[in-house]
Structure formats: structure tokens, C-alpha cells
Copies of this chain bind each other. A is one copy, B any other.
Amino acid sequence: MAMSERGPRERMVFSAAQLIRRDGVASTGMREVAVHASAPRGSLQHYFPGGKEQLVNEAVGWAGRYAAGRVGRFLAALPEPTPSRLFAQMVRQWTDEYETAGFAGGCPVAAATVDCAESTGSTREAAAAAFAAWTGPVSEALVDMGVPRERAGALATLMISTLEGAILMARAERDVRALTTVAGELGPLLDSAVDKAL
């Protein structure tokens, strides 16, 4: 959330991600992005000659890298990491946001997928890349915790799928219930995948 003193270009990408996750891609205007980023409107065509499509794609890419980076920080915060604890942290990020800041925003990658998967090929690819960038570190983390390599990827996909779906339900219901529920139900399964021999 720290809008550090980066250049206007980065601020616009960041702001685009923020607005997209709130209103969706189609409902987010470029002028709106510039205003939100306190960036000059003229910079839009200068930094993003590819137009809205380019800006959206970069915002999605940013979101993917952000999610991937969070995984590392979650692990660093866990004294004894286990799969269920990692998942709990991932879920907690959302429950915390929803409880303190309201249910305004969802996942920007999900928004891009819903709005552009069929219409804009490059954005669909950006979303797929973002999911991959996110799944990778989660899978690696599971391996480090003792989950067999051949299973880790599948469990990472399961974790992210479940989280994304729970985010949707939580936003619709304006209640973190779905998030806390899936964290509790999925935890034991995740931990049971740890190879006890290690």
C-alpha cells in the first residue's frame, strides 16, 4: 500500500491496479488513473503508447509480482512455517484488509481475467503469467516445508484457486466468512501433504 516516491510511470501502474481491483477493467478510465496517481494526463500516451491495453497488462503484471513477493514475507514472518500457516497468512491479508478498509477491492488479476479473457488476448496472457508468478513461490515454499515436489504444484494451485474464490464470495457477501471458512477447512489437508519422513 505504500505509494512510495516512485516516478509517475510506476505510480500510474500502481493506481491502475488499485482502480481495476475496485471497479473492474472496463469501468476504469485512463483519465481516472492519472488523477488517482497524481500524474499528468499527458504522460499517459507518453509512457503507455500501447494505450489502455498496455497499462492494464502492466498493472496485472505488477499485481502478480506483488503477490509473489508477499509469499516470501509471509514465510519470513512464520517461526515454524507449515502449509496451513502459509495459507492462513495469505487469507489473513484479505480478512485484515476487509475488516479495516472495507470490501471495496478484489484481486486485480481476477478482474482482468473476467473482463478481458475473451476480448483481449494479451491481457489474458498477462493474467496467466501473473497466476504463474504467484503459484511458483507458493509451490517452492511447500517444497521447503516438506511437501513432495510432484504434489506441491497442485497444492499451490489449490490454495490460490480457493483463495480467489473465497475473495469473490467475501466481497459479494460483504463478510469475511468465506475466507475464514476455507482457511480452516483447507488447513488440515495442506499439512497432511508434508512428508513425515523429513
Contacts and interface: CB of A to CB of B under 8 A. Distances in A.
A172 B115 contact: no
A186 to B, nearest CB: 7
A160 B155 contact: no
Contact of A178 (B104, B157, B163, B185): B157
Interface string A153-180: 0110110111111101101111001100
Q: How many copies does the complex hold?
A: 2
A71 interface: no
A95 interface: no
Interface stretch (A33-41, A46-54, A116-124): A116-124
B169 A157 contact: yes
A189 interface: yes
A22 interface: yes
Interface stretch (A1-9, A74-82, A106-114): A106-114
A75 B157 CA distance: 27
Interface in A76-116: 103-106, 109-111, 113-115
A32 interface: no
Most central of A24, A130, A160 by chain B CB within 10 Å:
A24
B26 A115 contact: yes
Interface in A174-196: 174, 177-178, 181-182, 184-186, 188-189
